[in-house]
């Protein structure tokens, strides 16, 4: 299967954490694979296994022009010698951004569809059109979220919990697939806190409940910074400071928003004293390359 390097769990030390008497641990999953990084590795794991078992030679998946999921899937297809097609929301813009340049160079075919068509991408009639065009393929949904992705993320959380004990686990949330898996992988002695990066993402509640009946989790909606892909000067300043202080890179779309939110909640005494908080670094640093700061 695809290559995997086990990653370190490091303690972040700071005066603020000391002052509020919390222990903050970071799982450096951004370092698990050079191209299929963070949660995307775990979301793809069982999907790729299924695709190979079923004898598929082509993957089809969906995403926007900056998608970490498209990037990871392109790298996985290359590593496994599979054909792959990325169905991309919106029109082609040239030159290609760093994400799509990589996807294309990895051998993935770029297939652009209108935003309107993209909204309809899960409809059977649209999937049939894709089959008419591309033949047989294994379909991975947008963002890679499905039951097999949840299974992979559950395994990830279970392994982390075997390595270290914690009271809270924090992670950034896009589609909710990773969070659902993490909840499934833990018992009720740990509380999972998800930080959605989309604005007004109340649909996530239902999305997560599709995959888990457990209720040891919550979504913190206050740290989206204006919505998906929106970046403020305050956030950029935070990233620069954080990287200097802890020597850990953050991506502006996901991990920086979560870290900002977490530190803010610590300052607001959200966590009881002597709590241990485990943070998942979900990767996404390929997206950092497009920003000049
Ligand atoms: C895709 C991604 C997420 C969100 O994962 P979901 O399963 O869609 O919620 C979080 N962090 C990073 C870095 C990602 O690339």
Of 112, 104, 100, 61, residue with least CA distance to 289: 100
How sure is the predictor about 1, in pLDDT bands with cuts at 50, 70 and 90? confident
pTM: 0.97
292, pLDDT greater than 90: no
On whether both 158 and 283 belong to a single domain, the answer is yes
Q: Is 144 in the pocket of ligand 1 (CB under 6 A)?
A: no
On whether both 92 and 217 belong to a single domain, the answer is no
* Residue to mutate, 29, 150, 172, ligand 1, most ligand atoms under 8 Å from C-beta: 172
Q: Give, using CA atoms, the residue closest to atom 2 of ligand 1.
A: 174
On whether both 140 and 157 belong to a single domain, the answer is no
Q: Separation of 49 CA from ligand 1 center, angstroms?
A: 20
Residue 224 domain flag: yes
On whether both 151 and 74 belong to a single domain, the answer is no
Ligand 1 atom nearest residue 283's Cα: 13
Q: Which element (helix H / strand E) includes 283?
A: none
277, pLDDT greater than 80: yes
Give the orientation angle of helix 98-105 with respect to helix 68-80, to 10 degrees. 20
Output the CA–CA distances (angstroms, integers) from residue 280 to 2, 133, 162, 192, 195, in the order listed. 21, 39, 15, 11, 11
Task: Please identify, among 144, 175, 192, the residue that sits at the C-terminal boundary of a domain.
Answer: 144
Q: Is 145 in the pocket of ligand 1 (CB under 6 A)?
A: yes
What pLDDT does residue 287 have? 81
How sure is the predictor about 272, in pLDDT bands with cuts at 50, 70 and 90? very high
181, pLDDT greater than 80: yes
What pLDDT does residue 290 have? 72
> In sequence order, what are the residues at sequence separation of 6 or more whose Cβ sits closer than 8 angstroms to the Cβ of residue 202?
221
Task: Please identify, among 126, 144, 162, the residue that sits at the C-terminal boundary of a domain.
Answer: 144
CATH number at 180 reads 3.40.50.1100
On whether both 181 and 283 belong to a single domain, the answer is yes
Helix/strand number for the chain, H first, E second: 11, 10
On whether both 24 and 59 belong to a single domain, the answer is no
Integer Cα distance of 257 and 197 in angstroms: 7
State the total domains in the chain. Answer: 2
Cβ-count burial of 43 within 10 angstroms (0-12 exposed, 13-18 middle, 19+ buried)? buried
Copy the structure tokens of residue 21. 């008497």
Q: Is 152 in the pocket of ligand 1 (CB under 6 A)?
A: no
Q: Is 287 in the pocket of ligand 1 (CB under 6 A)?
A: no
Give the orientation angle of helix 39-53 with respect to helix 147-163, to 10 degrees. 130
On whether both 166 and 262 belong to a single domain, the answer is yes
Q: Which residues span the domain enclosing 99? A: 39-144
Average pLDDT of the chain to the nearest whole number:
97
pLDDT above 70 covers a percentage of the chain that reads 100
Give me the mean pLDDT over the 261-278 stretch: 98
Strands 138-139 and 109-113: unpaired
Copy the structure tokens of residue 14. 């700071």
In 203-241, which positions are buried (b, 16+ CB within 10 angstroms) versus exposed (e)?
A: ebeebbeebbeeeebebbbebbbeebeebeeebeebbee
* Alpha helices in 120-169, H assignment, sequence order: 124-134, 147-163
On whether both 153 and 283 belong to a single domain, the answer is yes
On whether both 58 and 124 belong to a single domain, the answer is yes
């Amino acid at each position: 299967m695809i290559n995997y390097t086990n990653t370190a769990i490091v303690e972040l030390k700071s005066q603020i954490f000391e002052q509020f008497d919390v222990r903050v641990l970071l799982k450096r999953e951004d370092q698990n694979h050079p191209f299929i990084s963070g949660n995307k590795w775990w979301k793809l794991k069982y999907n790729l296994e299924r695709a190979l078992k079923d004898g598929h030679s082509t993957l089809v998946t969906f995403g926007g022009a900056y998608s970490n999921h498209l990037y990871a899937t392109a790298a996985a297809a290359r590593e496994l010698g599979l054909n792959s097609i990325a169905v991309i929301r919106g029109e082609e813009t040239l030159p290609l951004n760093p994400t799509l340049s990589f996807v294309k160079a990895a051998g993935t075919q770029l297939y652009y569809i209108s935003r309107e068509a993209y909204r309809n991408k899960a409809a059977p009639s649209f999937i049939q059109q894709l089959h008419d065009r591309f033949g047989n393929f294994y379909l991975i949904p947008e963002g890679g979220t499905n039951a097999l992705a949840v299974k992979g993320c559950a395994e990830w959380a279970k392994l982390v919990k075997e390595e270290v004990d914690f009271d809270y686990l924090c992670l950034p949330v896009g589609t909710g697939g990773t969070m659902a898996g993490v909840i499934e992988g833990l018992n009720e002695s740990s509380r999972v806190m998800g930080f959605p990066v989309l604005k007004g993402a109340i649909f996530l509640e239902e999305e997560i409940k599709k995959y888990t009946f457990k209720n040891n989790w919550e979504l913190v909606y206050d740290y989206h910074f204006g919505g998906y892909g929106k970046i403020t000067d305050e956030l950029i300043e935070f990233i620069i400071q954080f990287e200097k202080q802890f020597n850990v890179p953050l991506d502006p779309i996901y991990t920086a928003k979560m870290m900002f939110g977490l530190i803010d909640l610590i300052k607001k005494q959200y966590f009881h004293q002597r709590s241990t908080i485990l943070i998942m670094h979900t990767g996404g640093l390929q997206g950092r390359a497009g920003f000049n700061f």
